[in-house]
Amino acid sequence: MGKIKTGWKLPPLPLPVALLGANVSGKANFFTIVWFNMLQDDPPLVGAAMSKSHYTRQGIKDNKTFNVNMPSSSMAEIVDYCGLYPGSKVDKSNLFEVFYGELETAPMVNECAVNIECRLMDSKEFDTTELIIGEIVEVYCEEKCLAENKADYRKMDPMIFFMPESPYIKTGDVIANAFEVGKKFGQ
Amino acid sequence: MGKIKTGWKLPPLPLPVALLGANVSGKANFFTIVWFNMLQDDPPLVGAAMSKSHYTRQGIKDNKTFNVNMPSSSMAEIVDYCGLYPGSKVDKSNLFEVFYGELETAPMVNECAVNIECRLMDSKEFDTTELIIGEIVEVYCEEKCLAENKADYRKMDPMIFFMPESPYIKTGDVIANAFEVGKKFGQ
């Protein structure tokens, strides 16, 4: 047993699953993303990489707004549906109870525990994809997912996608506290 | 119960935990990252956002190589240690069994199940951070984490960090199969 060179293009990674929301031609649209993360904390920037052919991309550019909605594991079927079929083929505007926030043009999914509302700030193009970069203007959270004014991951019950071909999975047990357990190392 | 505006700068997200490895002044160094993800699949690009003050940043620029190592949950203590203390303060070159691959200057952690070796391709600066962009040149995987030539998440046992302040957590049970369960929606 040991290490082998796999030749894989896509490494196996546990990635957060979200619905990216944006209005396209005046209608709410949502697609499933796992290629997103934070880029900076102050001001807070989030980046989402998507194919240049993505239907939603033009909507984001037109309105200069989008958002990232965090679904719970009970939403797996509809979340996967949003990833399977493009907005150019199916109308997703009535799939969810939509609400709008500060920016007025970024449709957020009420059924998702957390909604991250973003103003388009910048972008960076690659060969076939573009990194859409948004500044977070507000984070909405379902009250029932809070514990001591913080989001509780067990209540939020987020979905993880194990890239590239594997299942959606749930979060599991606590391993240790970050920024604490490392202080024990070497002692 | 309902949605509340939290005013949070950092949204609650379940993020993959990795050790970013690079040589700095000829010595292997590693620090803990959670702000990384894929940017493109072909050619495969990975992006990692880090503070401009990061000790490792200069090493990545000097060698034009780095890598992303995926630890298992049993490594939480040493992984957290690598995040708590900068390479400018502590020597991390002997913490792990290090091996080098194609690029010769990117130190990979043998104890990690998966190692993603990257050639620095590009970068993008923000106010206080920089997105380091690498092309994946090879993915190494521990043989014992394979099932039918694919990585098995249960064998890999990756760490998730629930941003911003909460614990490291394990991956949990399967919810459903991606690209499949959504076909049932509306039927």
Whether A4 is in a domain gets the answer no
**Model confidence over B135-161: pLDDT tens digits?**
999 999 999 999 999 999 999 999 999
Whether B8 is in a domain gets the answer no
Cβ <8 Å between B171 and A171: yes
Separation of CA A53 from chain center: 19
**Chain B: residue nearest A151 by CA?**
B12
Query: What's the pLDDT score for residue A16?
Result: 98
Separation of CA B52 from chain center: 18
**Chain B: residue nearest A170 by CA?**
B172
Q: Report the pLDDT averaged over residues A3-16.
A: 96
Closest CA to B177 of A77, A15, A102: A77
Most confident of A53-57, B51-55, B159-163: B159-163
Query: What's the pLDDT score for residue B132?
Result: 98
> Quick one: what percent of chain B has pLDDT higher than 90?
94
What Cα–Cα distance (Å) separates residue A108 from each residue in A1, A64, B78? Answer: 48, 15, 39
**Chain B: residue nearest A84 by CA?**
B179
**Model confidence over B74-113: pLDDT tens digits?**
999 999 999 999 999 999 999 999 999 999 999 999 999 9
Whether A5 is in a domain gets the answer no
* Candidates A13, A15, A170; nearest CB to B175: A170
Query: What's the pLDDT score for residue B186?
Result: 80
Q: Where in the sequence is the domain holding A161, given as residue range(s)? A: 13-184
Query: What's the pLDDT score for residue A104?
Result: 94
A30 to chain B: which residues are within 8 Å by CB?
none
Task: Examine the pLDDT at A106 and tell me if it is beyond 90.
Answer: yes
Query: What's the pLDDT score for residue B165?
Result: 81
Task: Examine the pLDDT at A187 and tell me if it is beyond 90.
Answer: no
Whether A67 is in a domain gets the answer yes
Mean pLDDT of all residues belonging to chain B: 96
Query: What's the pLDDT score for residue A165?
Result: 81
Query: What's the pLDDT score for residue A170?
Result: 98
Closest CA to B60 of B95, B24, B88, B102: B24
* Candidates B136, B179, B185; nearest CB to A78: B185
Compute the distance between CA of residue B23 and CA of residue A80 in angstroms, rounded to an integer. Answer: 40
Whether B96 is in a domain gets the answer yes
* Candidates A6, A49, A183; nearest CB to B139: A6
Task: Examine the pLDDT at A1 and tell me if it is beyond 70.
Answer: no
B139 in contact with A, Cβ within 8 Å: yes
A55: closest CA of chain B, how far (Å) = 17
B5 in contact with A, Cβ within 8 Å: yes
Q: Report the pLDDT averaged over residues A151-179.
A: 95
Task: Yes or no: say if B112 and B19 are a contact pair by the CB < 8 Å rule.
Answer: yes
A11 to chain B: which residues are within 8 Å by CB?
46, 68, 70, 114, 116, 136, 139
Peptide bond into B12 cis (omega under 30): no
Whether B6 is in a domain gets the answer no
A125 in contact with B, Cβ within 8 Å: no
Whether A45 is in a domain gets the answer yes
A111 to chain B: which residues are within 8 Å by CB?
none
B81 in contact with A, Cβ within 8 Å: yes
> Quick one: what percent of chain B has pLDDT higher than 70?
99
Compute the distance between CA of residue B82 and CA of residue B171 in angstroms, rounded to an integer. Answer: 21
A152 CB neighbour count, 10 Å cutoff: 16
> Quick one: what percent of chain A has pLDDT higher than 90?
94
Mean pLDDT of all residues belonging to chain A: 96
Q: Which residues pair with A15 in a beta bridge?
A: A161
Compute the distance between CA of residue A15 and CA of residue A159 in angstroms, rounded to an integer. Answer: 9
Query: What's the pLDDT score for residue A32?
Result: 97
What Cα–Cα distance (Å) separates residue A150 from each residue in A180, B15, B164? Answer: 18, 17, 9
The residue type at A59: G
Task: Examine the pLDDT at B1 and tell me if it is beyond 80.
Answer: no
Query: What's the pLDDT score for residue A186?
Result: 80
Whether A3 is in a domain gets the answer no
Counted domains in chain A:
1
Compute the distance between CA of residue B78 and CA of residue B180 in angstroms, rounded to an integer. Answer: 38
Q: Report the pLDDT averaged over residues A74-92.
A: 96
Q: What is the CATH number of the domain that holds B20?
A: 2.30.110.10
B154: closest CA of chain A, how far (Å) = 10
